[in-house]
Amino acid sequence: MNKITPSLWFDNNIEEAVNFYCSIFKNSEITSVSRYGDAGFGKKGDVLAMSFKLNEQEFQAINGGPMYQFNPAVSFSIDCNDQKEVDYYWEKLSDGGAIEQCGWLRDKYGLSWQIVPNILPKYLMDKDPLKANRVMQAMLKMKKLEIDVLKNAYDGMI
């Protein structure tokens, strides 16, 4: 069991959001659903909270009302093995949301995601500052990250 479980606060669309996320990530499942009873702010029978897993990462979610909203100060980063995986998550999670810079996007629920090729940290932390700088400069010009462009920058081909 994870020692830290992210907990997400939704206004009144928890079921829709959790089903959306579970449809995108492999090895995902809803593990529990609790509903409002006679007490609480919600209507009896409406979903209060859900627990779920995305790629084996545990999450909790609550229909807490409009008091809090997501912002980019907290995001989830997806480590991608290749461009096909980058493209997949970018397309699915940005649908109905907002595309941002440098591999960041906000989904239609306002949650921020970073879609990151797993080669990027190696390039950015290279001991050769010229290589790392070229990659950084290339990345800053992108919205969705393109592995071939990052590799060409790293290799000095741009």
Cβ neighbours around 154 below 10 Å, total: 21
Q: Calculate ∠ Cα 99-86-18, nearest 5°.
A: 70
User: Could you read off the pLDDT of 29-47 as tens digits, one per residue?
Assistant: 999 999 999 887 788 999 9
Distance of alpha carbon 57 from alpha carbon 36, whole angstroms? 26
- How many residues belong to the chain? 158
Name residue 9's amino acid: W
Per-residue confidence (pLDDT) for residue 42, from 0 to 100: 80
Per-residue confidence (pLDDT) for residue 59, from 0 to 100: 97
- The share of the chain scoring above pLDDT 70, in percent, equals 99
Mean predicted confidence (pLDDT) in 137-158 = 97
Per-residue confidence (pLDDT) for residue 82, from 0 to 100: 98
Per-residue confidence (pLDDT) for residue 2, from 0 to 100: 63
Per-residue confidence (pLDDT) for residue 58, from 0 to 100: 96
pLDDT at 104 over 80: yes
Q: Is the pTM of this model over 0.75?
A: yes
Q: Who wins on pLDDT, 3 or 79?
A: 79
pLDDT at 63 over 90: yes
Task: Answer whether 132's CB lies under 8 Å from 123's CB.
Answer: yes
Per-residue confidence (pLDDT) for residue 43, from 0 to 100: 86
pLDDT band at 1; cut points 50, 70, 90: low
Per-residue confidence (pLDDT) for residue 158, from 0 to 100: 82
